Structure 1
Amino acid sequence: MASFAGASSTISTINVQRPLPRSPKLLKFTNVIPVVTSRPVRVKHPPICCTKLTPWEPSPAKHAPAEDAGYDFLQKTTNIFETLGSENTAEAEAPLASAQTEEVTADASNQPLAELQFLKWPMWLLGPSLLLSTGMVPTLWLPISSIYLGPNIASLLSLIGLDCIFNLGATLFLLMADSCARPKRLTQSCNSKPPFSYQFWNMVANVTGFIIPVLLLFGSQKGFVQPQLSFIPCAVLLGPYLLLLSVQVLTELLTWHWQSPVWLVTPVVYESYRVLQLMRGLKLGAELSAPAWMMHTIRGLVCWWVLILGMQLMRVAWFAGFTTRARKQQYSSASADG
């Protein structure tokens, strides 16, 4: 843009004299040229705006902010002191907030921790006592004559009721054992997954113990096994056994699915009771005058489950040694890193 302003013009009075002749006649006449003097007049010229610069006028300097990531903090606010102050305050408050959060979390985790530990102490005595009272006491001290009244439906239901009482106690015992096996801190996860080989051979043992008596009962009903045994005596002798074995398989599948730490204890609990259950079947078979093949079948099942129970106890010992070795390796690696 260029603006032009006109300067004020001033007309002054100028007297111009001509040279006079020396003659006296001419002295009386002087030729004076009058010049009119006027007041100064100021003319206001309107400014002329143009977008093009003249060649002699320098171009104005333009300062554009560089697009740099380092100056992004200035774009947050128009006040640089406000921006720097807010960032410094946030940086200063960040460690304090994290420290306060950790303290609050630690306090919140420690408060239920003591309560849970206090509640877990009676479980170490309550769980085994419950298992003993629901499983062993009715089988060992309750007379068979008060339960078994003959080869009929009432006797079958009475025997199934005893096994259901044991199953209830075993379930409560496993829940208490799972609670005691959990870590002390609630934030820590405890997922214990059994190996595939353990699952496979355990299912093989259960299926074998289920199929063999079922095949013998089917052969007795079809006349392939002699002498034949009617359905009610067969159900009294092997019905509760087959039912409790099915419950054990379901419980083990649930512990594997939930990755509960009691997956190693579950078969030991049920198989220990199964031995007593089959021994009770031997007593009932003598009262029923069961054929020899049935008595041999029950004795074979007792031997089979004692063998499987011994293998389960060996797995418990192996797992204890494996845990000890893993813990030693963890300590050695931690000391080497430190």
Structure 2
Amino acid sequence: MAAPTRLPSSVSAITLPQVRSRSLNLWKSLNHQCTFNQIGIKLHPVCCTNMSPWEPSPVKYAPDDDTADDFLKGDNNIFETLKSNRTIEAPLTSTEVLTDTSTQPSTQLQYLRWPMWLLGPPLLLATGMVPTLWLPISSIFLGPNIASLLSLTGLDCIFNLGASLFLLMADSCARPNTPTQVCKSQAPLSYRFWNMVATITGFTIPLSIFFGAHRGFLQPQLPFISSAVLLGPYLLLLSVQMLTEMLTWHWKSPVWLVTPIVYEAYRVLQLMRGLKLGAELGAPSWMLHTIRGLVCWWVLILGMQLMRVAWYAGFAARARQQQSSDLSYAENT
């Protein structure tokens, strides 16, 4: 038996038997081959293995034409591919966890600010007004000597400690909730200039009075220790205020507008205490008039500071209203 001839896979062989042509009444023996081009059909191979069912084998799938390049592109083993997909999803989950944990400090910081709103003003009141108003001056003032000067300076140091803590609390409350946001509040140059003018004027008046009394232009003369008891704590606290304001300007703290108000309000009370002590010491009239002039000066400066606070609040309200109107206009357009 003859072996069949093997044709290429691109053509197919069809053998026609003997055909009788009735129109020509002829018998023709047609024993030839007709070839036709085969329609291109893509056959996908199926891989089979005769491995043991107990051994894991790589599983292959026959993907569609559209997804043939993307399906299981990384590895032929489906288990390893699933494992790699899990490792890809892991950083996403960790990112979400980090996002949740990053919001926790801001929430905790918001909870910590509420006690500051309640503790700040009472702390300022307890360290500033209570010792001066309720503590008897006679118990700490023994006369024009060093002990009385140190006792009065200690009262002012207690106030300075409370004022510093109050300003730190106010600065913390004025900061934004999220630590990533930067809050820098720059004091205007004109504001800093006029504050320095007011402070230098507050220094110049008592120092010029001391110089005039030392030269003998003012009579009767007042001893140095008595002058130090009356105006020494005032000059010391004024120096501390100047240093604190310069630090708030350098650090761009939001409390630069509140700092002079805190110290100037206590300064008025401090000078009123000096008037009372001057009457007990029998100070000359020119010293009492000097202290009264300082009281009037700092009340005037305190009023100007309060007007600046009102102006700043109105400016901030106008800026916020302008921003909201711009946002609403942008949404409508």
TM-score (norm 2): 0.71
Mapping for residues 138-217 of structure 1, pairs under 5 Å: 138-217=131-210
Equivalent-residue separation in structure 1 for 2:91 and 2:214 (angstroms): 74
Question: Equivalent residue for 1:304?
Answer: 297
1:131 is aligned, of 120, 124, 132, to: 124
C-alpha displacement at 1:100, in angstroms? 6.0
Larger Rg, first or second structure (1 or 2): 1
Q: Deviation per CA, 1:311-330: give whole Å up to 9, x if none.
A: 00000100000000111111
Mapping for residues 22-41 of structure 1, pairs under 5 Å: none
Structure 1 moving runs of 4+ over 3 Å: 95-106
Equivalent-residue separation in structure 2 for 1:327 and 1:103 (angstroms): 33
C-alpha displacement at 1:251, in angstroms? 0.1
C-alpha displacement at 1:151, in angstroms? 0.3
C-alpha displacement at 1:106, in angstroms? 3.2
Equivalent-residue separation in structure 1 for 2:137 and 2:213 (angstroms): 26
Question: Equivalent residue for 1:66?
Answer: none
C-alpha displacement at 1:212, in angstroms? 0.8
Which residue identity is paired with 2:109?
A: L
Relative to 1, partners in 2 of residues 1:105 and 1:222: Cα closer, same or farther, differing over 3 Å?
farther
Equivalent-residue separation in structure 2 for 1:197 and 1:276 (angstroms): 28
Q: Note the residue ranges of structure 1 that are not aligned, 5 or more in a row.
A: 1-80, 87-91
Q: Deviation per CA, 1:174-223: give whole Å up to 9, x if none.
A: 00000011111111111011111111111100110111101101211121
Equivalent-residue separation in structure 1 for 2:118 and 2:292 (angstroms): 34
Which residue identity is paired with 1:324?
A: A
Q: Note the residue ranges of structure 2 that are not aligned, 5 or more in a row.
A: 1-68, 75-84
Mapping for residues 216-255 of structure 1, pairs under 5 Å: 216-255=209-248
TM-score (norm 1): 0.70
Question: Equivalent residue for 2:265?
Answer: 272
Sequence identity (%): 73
1:261 is aligned, of 236, 251, 254, to: 254
Relative to 1, partners in 2 of residues 1:100 and 1:307: Cα closer, same or farther, differing over 3 Å?
farther
C-alpha displacement at 1:103, in angstroms? 3.5
Aligned with 2:185: secondary structure? coil
Which residue identity is paired with 1:294?
A: M
Task: Report if the CA contact (8 A) 1:109-1:185 is conserved.
Answer: no
Question: Equivalent residue for 1:290?
Answer: 283
Aligned with 1:122: secondary structure? helix
The number of residues matched between the two structures is 252
Relative to 1, partners in 2 of residues 1:257 and 1:101: Cα closer, same or farther, differing over 3 Å?
farther
* Bigger fraction of residues in strand: 2
Equivalent-residue separation in structure 2 for 1:288 and 1:154 (angstroms): 15
Equivalent-residue separation in structure 1 for 2:264 and 2:92 (angstroms): 52
Mapping for residues 22-171 of structure 1, pairs under 5 Å: 103-171=96-164
Equivalent-residue separation in structure 2 for 1:288 and 1:157 (angstroms): 17
Q: Deviation per CA, 1:283-329: give whole Å up to 9, x if none.
A: 00000110111000000000000000000000010000000011111
Relative to 1, partners in 2 of residues 1:291 and 1:98: Cα closer, same or farther, differing over 3 Å?
farther
Question: Equivalent residue for 2:306?
Answer: 313
Relative to 1, partners in 2 of residues 1:226 and 1:101: Cα closer, same or farther, differing over 3 Å?
farther
Equivalent-residue separation in structure 1 for 2:256 and 2:109 (angstroms): 22
Relative to 1, partners in 2 of residues 1:222 and 1:105: Cα closer, same or farther, differing over 3 Å?
farther
Which residue identity is paired with 2:131?
A: P
Relative to 1, partners in 2 of residues 1:215 and 1:98: Cα closer, same or farther, differing over 3 Å?
farther
